[in-house]
Amino acid sequence: MQKRVLGKSGLEVSALGLGCMGMSFSYGPPKDRKEMIGLLRTAVERGITFFDTAEVYGPFTNEELVGEALSPLRDQVVIATKFGFDTTVDPRAMKGVGPVLNSRPTHIKEVAEASLKRLNIDVIDLFYQHRVDPDVPIEDVAGAVKELIQEGKVRHFGLSEAGVQTIRRAHAVQPVATVQNEYSLWFRRPEEGLLQALEELGIGMVPYSPLGKGFLTGKIDETTTFDSTDFRTSLPRFTTEARKANQTLVELLGAIAVEKNGTPAQIALAWLLAQKPWIVPIPGTTKLDRLDENNGAVAIELTPDDLKKIGAAASQITVQGERYPEKLELMTGR
């Protein structure tokens, strides 16, 4: 597995990370714990060193799972987790009133202590604000994480779904190592100013949902059924009509995959890897064959001509459906 450095932070990780959320939360019922521990440890054997979790995933159970699996391999891995939600409110209430944010400095420090215990580690490698809290100045958030870094409890500070001005303000208080925003061939908004700002500031980028929440793998179409606990049932982009309309993008990936002797998922990931050397996607999976398939993307080389061809074709495709319900979309890009 190749390595990459996230911006100017010095934080070196595998070129692909592993998003762990779906093992415990959001994509149907929680998966078998022993199987997931085995998968996480196999991922390390396969060369993955970068693992992404959050206290809200479960809540708490995903951090506990990651901690049990990876704490024995602590010297080989970089673990990222997140703060920013009020976890006294069930996150599954997102379908109703929406999640409740809390990035008050005292809460950030409480979350850090609790996450350290659940992860069974002495220091959090990368601590993200999960969503920007409009009620707490970002300078106060950055200041709280700066204090945690000074205390040796956190190594690096990250932001998730933050807008450019918020990133600049935070970075002025405590250098931001990386920004985790959604980015893929079916959600290209980061190209409209965010990537340019990150390059200027020397900040890395970690695209989440780099496979469009599974859609860009080519394994989902309008006939696919989802478990009632799968959060995709609430997403406008996953209505039957949208899935049918958006197959055009998967067909594009499939055509290029044939040329490159790969799969649609591998092309989608290779496209992201080719955008910038400081981009590290974190596809999630609960299956070993998918893990190996995703890792195969690192070996696929897309030439400048390939990228031009993909870009030109993709720009002709209008993706149908918003990515989130309005209440969740309002929490992004601020």
Which pLDDT tens digit goes with each residue over 284-327?
Answer: 999 999 999 999 999 999 999 999 988 888 888 888 889 888 77
Residue 167 lies in a domain: yes
DSSP string, 139-193: HHHHHHHHHHHHTTSEEEEEEES--HHHHHHHHHHS-EEEEE-B-BTTB-GGGTT
Residue 256 lies in a domain: no
Q: Which domain, by its residues, includes 110?
A: 3-211+276-300
pTM confidence score: 0.94
Interval 239-276: pLDDT, tens: 999 999 899 999 999 999 999 999 999 999 999 999 99
Residue 165 lies in a domain: yes
In sequence order, which residues have a C-beta less than 8 Å from that of residue 71 and are 6 or more positions away? 119, 120, 121
Identify which of 200, 201, 198, 202 has the alpha carbon closest to the alpha carbon of residue 181: 198
Interval 56-102: pLDDT, tens: 999 999 999 999 999 999 999 999 999 999 988 765 554 555 678 99
| 192 in Cβ contact with 227 (< 8 Å) | no
CA distance 77 to 99: 30
Tell me the CATH number at 74.
Answer: 3.20.20.100
- Eight-class DSSP state of 74: G
CA distance 280 to 194: 15
- The percent of the chain in helix, strand and coil, each rounded to the nearest 5, is 50, 15, 40
CA distance 233 to 225: 9
Residue 51 lies in a domain: yes
Interval 202-225: pLDDT, tens: 999 999 999 999 999 989 999 999
Known catalytic residues are 57
Number of domains forming the structure of the chain: 1
